Structure 1
Amino acid sequence: MYPVSEAFLRAVRENTRRYYWTGKITTKGGAVYPFGYEDIVKGSGYVSAQCCGSAEIELGTVYAAEMGVTLFSQIDRYTLDGAKVELFYHLRVADGSFEEVPMGIFEVSEANRRLHCLELKAYDYMLRFEKSFNGFESVGNAWAFLELCCKACGVEMENTRAEIEGMPNGRELLSIYPENDIGTYRDVLFFVGQVLGGFFCINRRGRLELRKYGAEPVMEVQGRHRFSSSFSDFITRYTAVSSTNLRTQTAEYYALDTDDGLTMNLGVNPLLQFGLEETRRQLCENILNDLSVVNYVPFDSSTIGNPALDLGDVLTFSGGQADGEQVTCITSFQCRIGGRQSLKCVGKNPRLAQAKSKNDKNISGLLNQIEAGKVGIHTFTNASAYTVAEDNVRIISIEFAAKEETHVQFFGQAVVDVRAVQAERTASASGSIVVPFPAAEAGAGSGEAVGTGDGGSGADGGMAGERAGTGGNGDSTREDEGRAGDGSGIGGSTEDVTVEVELPVTWTEDGKAVAYVTYEFNDSEILAHCPAETWGSGKHILSLYYPIDNLVPNITNTFNVYLRMENGTGEIGTGGCIASISGQGMAAAAAWDGTVTMEEYVSRFAFGGGLGMKGVAGEMGIETMELVRKSYTDSIGKALIGAFGKPIDLA
């Protein structure tokens, strides 16, 4: 915060205030044009500044502040090229006097004349460092490089030599060799700012100042001081830094003992490329110590304004939805002349630290710079479950690249829970059946016979009884005749009769599901090898292998595996697929090449009772680098129209 009196701080927190703005324009020719509050078109003036981008906390930044204003003035606009504009804020304090706060010094970049007004847009002295750096070989500490830049660009340094050299990396010897990515003096400032663990800005006196993120709040913003506000539900904090070493073509990672926060990616810093490994480690650990104080809640708020606030000021918010115990930091602001002040703090969510985008990987330079001769490996595990049916489902997708022409091998394995369609079987069963049948001479030797009728039938039975009695004990009586007349015709013994029969039999049994695998390399289906498996219901392991020869170096390749099933379905759970591609000279992850792929799938639907459509798929792909392609394709499956049931192929 710009140093102001306690009376100013009390007055700026009051419900009402009296203030006014003034300014002064000084041309290159030495002409001075002062202007007052009444000369500023209402709502036209602003001052905006930032020290970070729109997404996350950054180190070494060199953003320029911007000023815009429209004046009721007749100044010749052709004399204002490169003119200096100074702004001042005046606030009435308790004793009735007005305390002045400078709002910065800017240089005019645009001056537009309207009928009665003059529109000005200006930037601070940071743009002066946009001068070409000659790239000569140089060695020195941080102060030496800052002094060189300020002298070459005509800007004074706010920090003293003792302050810079008193910082953790302030006395370390840094080197710049001709082979570097430095284009301007502004680039030099950026890399020096990273080494010192801070960011640069032009202060209100027009001097270059290095600031660091802090933890001590300078003021509290209460609910009655805010028109609107939005606070994140997480705290941005850093527990590691990463820096790419071009000599070894690897990224060096340094973390605190408890590494559960974000990682600050320093990229390729030319000042951190040379020296002993212990020196690089010490430099990066010192940067991490400066960065570890970041413990901010990202926010966006519109306030009544305090023009004394600066970039890097730590605040606390209370009232409303704010948590008074947490702190935040101003990473950007816009102060409207005669209006509100907008404050903002950016930051990423540490819970998403592991979900790095391809762009993050490209900047880090970690995975796509494996030295030739070493074996690189890229692994895949599915993060979502798949249901496999009669349509192809992509179960594995791996992107990779190689630094040289080589061959790689693909290995994969999937656990598939199969449900085969139950099959109904019908057959005929034939065989012999033995049926017991009464014997024709059932009464022999027993002395008894049973008649099968009355009247005449009984007489016949009596005669049979006599014959049976004679064969038995030789005693024939009327009782035999009576039994023969009253009998039922069932003899005392049976005779087995064999009968040939044939019966229809129906049953249900587990069917056989067939799984078909399709390999796809760089959007081209591999027709030479199409594995297939036949399974019953239950869990099965699908093992996959494919060699890729003559791999073209330095381009992004994609290997996909599709699976479909007939006569059944399959379920692959989360983590059920594991795969890898490995080979010599291969990067473990390819840099993003600009490919954007979008897919859209629509399940089966019908129009009334006539038109039925089975799936609509859309895909759009855009590639850059070596393979330049812009395309859009649509495909529609077979459709059944009306009651004819005639498939029409619309693909």
Structure 2
Amino acid sequence: MYPVSEAFLRAVQENTRRYYWTGRITTKGGAVYLFGYEDIVKGSGYIFAQCCGSAEIELGTVYAAEMGVTLFSQVDRYTLDGAKVELFYHLRVEGGGFEEVPMGIFEVSEANRRLHCLELKAYDYMLRFEKSFNGFESVGNAWAFLELCCKACGVEIENTQGEIEGMPNGRELLSIYPENDIGTYRDVLFFVGQVLGGFFCINRRGRLELRKYGAEPVLEVQGRHRFSSSFSDFITRYTAVSSTNLRTQTAEYYGLEVDDGLTMNLGVNPLLQFGLEETRRQLCGNILADLAAVNYVPFDSSTIGNPALDLGDVLTFTGGQADGEQMTCITSFQCRIGGRQSLKCVGKNPRLAQAKSKNDKNISGLLNQIEAGKVGIHTFTNASAYVVAEDRVRVISIEFAAKEETHVQFFGQVVLDVRAAQVERRACASGSVVVPVPVAGAGGGTGGGVAVGAVSGDGEEAGSAGDDGGTGESTENVTVEVELPVIWTEDGQAAVFVTYELNDSEILAHRPVETWGSGRHILSLYYPIDGLVPNITNTFNVYLRMEGGTGKIETGGCIASISGQGMAAAAAWDGTVTVEEPMRRFALGGGLGMKVFAGDMGIETMELVQRSYGDSMGKVLIGAFGKPFEIG
């Protein structure tokens, strides 16, 4: 809890209060912009912080706090990238004065301009530790690692060297082995926080601070201070820790004498890998001693708000459905500017966790880490094109080895451009044809007319007579049944046959077959392989042949893999060299000629480094002084 006066604590619990918020923005260029409570859009400002996830208590966490606010401001948004934002809470106390409480320092990550206002989203200095860590082999105590991280990322440390070294594991020498999963300085802080039995956060002054879960309440939240609340019916407590030892590939379990609570799984901590078994036992025992302080009731409550509360503060709730004798802890909070404050504590139910056996707890560290059960994979891609026809063609060949007796799986995909053979089809077309046929018939008529004439000049009479007449015909439809042969060609069906082969032995139990027309198709392949003998090179081949057409596989058209646990990093070469040479068909008949083939093969060991040895010796003088002695 941030240190405030007694007058502040009394004023913040009153039914009414008078307060206001202020802030300051400092750009990278040094420009300073002040804003007051009237410049903040109502209901837009908030601060959210957490030290655990959403399900259970955690150690070593390095969560960043988030701040969002909308201002009535005309500041150029392009100058706010990486700018520093400071917020302050002012509460009127007895005597009429206002007490100021800093609410944190944040760096702007997003600045969006609207018509009349400016939206800001910022995070605290924890994001500065998201820098690549290149200390592959480092040795030092916890303070040395903290000092290294803070100097590299430009963040000050709130804890002193004496405070860190005064902790149970503070003076222990820690080492990082080369093959670790540390990527950033933030990862280093996470593992150091686990060793020290606490969690890291950025405090209100912008400094890195290590905090531990405590057992002393700092504040009592009464029923009249809560708008709503929900409390669990169990108490979260830990009585054991589990840590994975990569050297022995085992999960080491350390518990209290009365082990009837939850188990904290530390996973694979690179700082806990070196040292004797007694040293690891002492380190994990000290972590368990710090973790044993967790004896909290999970809750979720909406309160009138106390801006002085911090992560890790232990509280007691009274009134209503709360049990005043039990403690709880703030693992996350959201403080609204001008609004309510939400407090929360997470935790698991020990009764449900007891459903697991102690053996399950021992191996849970290995199950949660990829290193303990790494899956190996061997891949294949064809480097040349193939034409698949009636003859069998090997399209995939993968060599692999296993370090232990295990089972693996083969997956593959082949893209084929199929050209199916043309097939001649014959059929008989039958039907009815309607033919119109004329029918014989007669009809006509004559009629009289009036002669019209004129007398010519020679006295002869000329004239003409008019007549009319006509003829007609009719038809009849005749249906004829006909039957004609029809011949045409069309695209046929090509069948592709797959053959699997393991270590020169053909697999007869599974022979996939696909049937396609012309076009591009994908052939999906799968086969499980079990009972592998360890430390022996295995070869898995896939052969294709096609009937009723041909298929073309382009370069890169075959992709395949064999994967499984316990796979060796690379298959060891057993000295076998395979040479293949295709040849066309030839007939065996009379007059077969024989041709002699001869060749030489030599084996030579090439010495790349010439070894020699030389020595020299100078003159050696041998001399002595005579020593008298008596005889008798």
Residue in 1 aligned with 2:530?
551
Q: Residues 584 and 235 (structure 1 numbering): CA distance in 2 closer, same or farther, change over 3 Å?
A: farther
Q: How does 1:195-344 map to 2 (within 5 A)?
A: 195-344=195-344
Q: Residues 171 and 73 (structure 1 numbering): CA distance in 2 closer, same or farther, change over 3 Å?
A: same
User: How far apart in 2 are the matches of 1:367 and 1:189?
Assistant: 20
1:354 aligns with 2:354: yes
Q: Residues 120 and 280 (structure 1 numbering): CA distance in 2 closer, same or farther, change over 3 Å?
A: same
Residue in 2 aligned with 1:81?
81
Q: Residues 191 and 57 (structure 1 numbering): CA distance in 2 closer, same or farther, change over 3 Å?
A: same
Residue pair 1:135, 1:182 contacting (<8 A) in 2 also? no
Residue pair 2:250, 2:363 contacting (<8 A) in 1 also? no
Q: Percent identity?
A: 88
User: How far apart in 1 are the matches of 2:287 and 2:372?
Assistant: 28
Q: Residues 77 and 105 (structure 1 numbering): CA distance in 2 closer, same or farther, change over 3 Å?
A: same
Q: Give secondary structure in 2 for the equivalent of 1:148.
A: helix
Q: Residues 368 and 325 (structure 1 numbering): CA distance in 2 closer, same or farther, change over 3 Å?
A: closer
Residue in 2 aligned with 1:116?
116
Q: Residues 311 and 277 (structure 1 numbering): CA distance in 2 closer, same or farther, change over 3 Å?
A: same
Per-residue Cα deviation, 1:75-113 (whole angstroms, up to 9, x for no partner): 000000000000000000011100000000000000000
Deviation at 1:404, TM superposition (A): 2.9
Per-residue Cα deviation, 1:518-565 (whole angstroms, up to 9, x for no partner): xxxxxxxxx9xxxxxxxxxxxxxxxxxxxxx96368xxxxxxxxxxxx
Residue in 2 aligned with 1:67?
67
Deviation at 1:584, TM superposition (A): 11
Q: How does 1:596-607 map to 2 (within 5 A)?
A: none
Q: Residues 339 and 356 (structure 1 numbering): CA distance in 2 closer, same or farther, change over 3 Å?
A: farther
Residue pair 2:226, 2:303 contacting (<8 A) in 1 also? yes
Deviation at 1:150, TM superposition (A): 0.2
Q: Residues 356 and 113 (structure 1 numbering): CA distance in 2 closer, same or farther, change over 3 Å?
A: farther
Residue in 2 aligned with 1:173?
173
Q: Give secondary structure in 2 for the equivalent of 1:253.
A: strand
Alignment size in residue pairs: 392
Q: Residues 260 and 359 (structure 1 numbering): CA distance in 2 closer, same or farther, change over 3 Å?
A: closer
Residue in 1 aligned with 2:19?
19
User: How far apart in 1 are the matches of 2:142 and 2:191?
Assistant: 10
Residue pair 1:244, 1:366 contacting (<8 A) in 2 also? no
Per-residue Cα deviation, 1:264-290 (whole angstroms, up to 9, x for no partner): 000000000010000000000000000
Residue in 1 aligned with 2:164?
164
- Structure 2: gaps (5+ residues): 374-401, 408-508, 510-527, 536-561, 565-632
Deviation at 1:353, TM superposition (A): 1.1
- Deviation >2 Å, runs of 4+: 354-363, 366-372, 402-407, 549-553
Q: Give secondary structure in 2 for the equivalent of 1:252.
A: strand
Letter of the structure 1 residue corresponding to residue 530 of structure 2: L
Letter of the structure 1 residue corresponding to residue 136 of structure 2: F
Residue pair 2:253, 2:362 contacting (<8 A) in 1 also? no
User: How far apart in 2 are the matches of 1:281 and 1:584?
Assistant: 34
Per-residue Cα deviation, 1:344-397 (whole angstroms, up to 9, x for no partner): 00000000113469999986115999999xxxxxxxxxxxxxxxxxxxxxxxxx
Residue pair 1:223, 1:318 contacting (<8 A) in 2 also? yes
Letter of the structure 2 residue corresponding to residue 331 of structure 1: T
Per-residue Cα deviation, 1:249-277 (whole angstroms, up to 9, x for no partner): 00000000000000000000000001000
User: How far apart in 2 are the matches of 1:242 and 1:164?
Assistant: 24
Letter of the structure 2 residue corresponding to residue 96 of structure 1: G
Residue in 1 aligned with 2:366?
365
Q: Residues 370 and 227 (structure 1 numbering): CA distance in 2 closer, same or farther, change over 3 Å?
A: closer
1:142 aligns with 2:142: yes
Q: Give secondary structure in 1 for the equivalent of 2:111.
A: strand
User: How far apart in 1 are the matches of 2:108 and 2:68?
Assistant: 9
Q: Give secondary structure in 1 for the equivalent of 2:8.
A: helix
TM-score by length of 2: 0.59
User: How far apart in 1 are the matches of 2:308 and 2:356?
Assistant: 38
Q: Give secondary structure in 1 for the equivalent of 2:147.
A: helix
Letter of the structure 2 residue corresponding to residue 551 of structure 1: D
Deviation at 1:177, TM superposition (A): 2.3
Per-residue Cα deviation, 1:417-470 (whole angstroms, up to 9, x for no partner): xxxxxxxxxxxxxxxxxxxxxxxxxxxxxxxxxxxxxxxxxxxxxxxxxxxxxx
Per-residue Cα deviation, 1:479-514 (whole angstroms, up to 9, x for no partner): xxxxxxxxxxxxxxxxxxxxxxxxxxxxxxxxxxxx
Residue pair 2:252, 2:362 contacting (<8 A) in 1 also? no
User: How far apart in 2 are the matches of 1:9 and 1:50?
Assistant: 23
Deviation at 1:403, TM superposition (A): 7.1
User: How far apart in 2 are the matches of 1:304 and 1:369?
Assistant: 45
Deviation at 1:135, TM superposition (A): 3.0
Letter of the structure 2 residue corresponding to residue 241 of structure 1: V
Deviation at 1:178, TM superposition (A): 1.9
User: How far apart in 2 are the matches of 1:113 and 1:81?
Assistant: 13
Q: Residues 81 and 369 (structure 1 numbering): CA distance in 2 closer, same or farther, change over 3 Å?
A: closer
Per-residue Cα deviation, 1:603-631 (whole angstroms, up to 9, x for no partner): xxxxxxxxxxxxxxxxxxxxxx969xxxx
Q: How does 1:449-460 map to 2 (within 5 A)?
A: none
Q: Residues 368 and 551 (structure 1 numbering): CA distance in 2 closer, same or farther, change over 3 Å?
A: farther
Residue pair 1:250, 1:370 contacting (<8 A) in 2 also? no
User: How far apart in 2 are the matches of 1:293 and 1:301?
Assistant: 22
Residue pair 2:263, 2:361 contacting (<8 A) in 1 also? no
Per-residue Cα deviation, 1:214-247 (whole angstroms, up to 9, x for no partner): 0000000000000000000000000000000000
Deviation at 1:405, TM superposition (A): 2.8
Q: Residues 81 and 361 (structure 1 numbering): CA distance in 2 closer, same or farther, change over 3 Å?
A: farther
Per-residue Cα deviation, 1:181-233 (whole angstroms, up to 9, x for no partner): 10000000000000000000000000000000000000000000000000000
Letter of the structure 1 residue corresponding to residue 77 of structure 2: R
TM-score by length of 1: 0.57
Residue pair 1:236, 1:347 contacting (<8 A) in 2 also? yes
Residue in 2 aligned with 1:127?
127
Q: Give secondary structure in 1 for the equivalent of 2:24.
A: strand
Letter of the structure 1 residue corresponding to residue 232 of structure 2: S
Residue pair 2:267, 2:368 contacting (<8 A) in 1 also? no
Q: Give secondary structure in 2 for the equivalent of 1:365.
A: helix
Residue pair 1:249, 1:369 contacting (<8 A) in 2 also? no
Q: Residues 115 and 94 (structure 1 numbering): CA distance in 2 closer, same or farther, change over 3 Å?
A: same
Letter of the structure 1 residue corresponding to residue 62 of structure 2: V
User: How far apart in 2 are the matches of 1:359 and 1:113?
Assistant: 54
User: How far apart in 1 are the matches of 2:372 and 2:33?
Assistant: 63
Q: Residues 201 and 351 (structure 1 numbering): CA distance in 2 closer, same or farther, change over 3 Å?
A: same
Q: Residues 14 and 78 (structure 1 numbering): CA distance in 2 closer, same or farther, change over 3 Å?
A: same
Residue in 1 aligned with 2:42?
42
Letter of the structure 2 residue corresponding to residue 337 of structure 1: I
Deviation at 1:136, TM superposition (A): 2.9
Residue pair 1:202, 1:209 contacting (<8 A) in 2 also? yes
User: How far apart in 1 are the matches of 2:273 and 2:323?
Assistant: 42
Q: Residues 97 and 370 (structure 1 numbering): CA distance in 2 closer, same or farther, change over 3 Å?
A: closer
Q: Give secondary structure in 2 for the equivalent of 1:22.
A: strand
Letter of the structure 1 residue corresponding to residue 195 of structure 2: V
User: How far apart in 2 are the matches of 1:350 and 1:626?
Assistant: 38
User: How far apart in 2 are the matches of 1:196 and 1:143?
Assistant: 10
1:30 aligns with 2:30: yes
User: How far apart in 2 are the matches of 1:404 and 1:171?
Assistant: 41
